[in-house]
Structure 1
Amino acid sequence: MTTPSDPAVRALVAAINAGDRDAFLAVLTPDATLSDDGTDRDLGDWIDREIFDAHGRFALLGERADGLALTARFRNDTWGEMRTAWRFTRSGDKISRIETGQA
């Protein structure tokens, strides 16, 4: 498995791997929220620090819940590579919530 089956999640992962912040944000609802290891974070600040400024890359390992729950190898220039879990909440065709953390 190389790409998530859910189309919104697939677009989000593609945006991460392309380093495309605008495409990432386009998949989210305007009021989207994010938590990292159970703590709510400022979404814009977090994605810049953990993904886009740190050259984050996402390699899918597996999925559940129709593609809304993923396990991945995530790598960035700050922390190196780690096994991570990602859960997404959809609102229509957009993502309204991202929950991530070490798996």
Structure 2
Amino acid sequence: MALSPDQLTDPAVRAFVTAVNAGDKAAFFAALTPGATMSDDGSDRDVQEWTDKEIFSCDGHMDVESQSDDGRALVVNYRNSTWGEMRTAWRFVVDGAGSISRFETGQA
């Protein structure tokens, strides 16, 4: 059974997942530090370009299966209208101010 976003331990990760699922680009970027970085399947990507293509233009949605590492590592059934559903792993680096400075995703 999926965890609801309000069950996620880390507040920054909770904000990230909530924003993705709401399609709320402003809230999504508010959860990130300026200059945040990311990778997809081990390759660094441009955050703005990747999120437009993989989340916001195609109804991206995260159903969190499990969390570990104090809520900064997730296993997610991720779906969007481009690729359908896939089981993915997400890792987050959260800075001292509570914003995400890097996230990494890939097949789980």
TM-score under structure 2 length normalisation:
0.93
**Which position in structure 1 is the counterpart of 2:93?**
89
**Which position in structure 2 is the counterpart of 1:2?**
4
**Which position in structure 2 is the counterpart of 1:80?**
84
The offset of 1:18, in angstroms, is 0.3
TM-score under structure 1 length normalisation:
0.98
The offset of 1:31, in angstroms, is 1.2
How many corresponding residue pairs?
103
Higher-strand-fraction structure: 1
CA RMSD across the alignment? 0.6
SS at match of 2:58: coil
Q: Tell me, which stretches of 5 or more residues in structure 1 are unaligned? A: none
The offset of 1:64, in angstroms, is 0.5
Runs of 4 or more above 2 Å deviation: none
User: Where does 1:9-88 land on structure 2 (aligned, <5 Å)?
Assistant: 9-88=13-92
SS at match of 1:45: helix
Q: Which amino acid aligns with 1:72?
A: V
Q: Tell me, which stretches of 5 or more residues in structure 2 are unaligned? A: none
Question: Hey, what's the Cα distance between the residues in 1 that align with 2:45 and 2:22?
Answer: 23
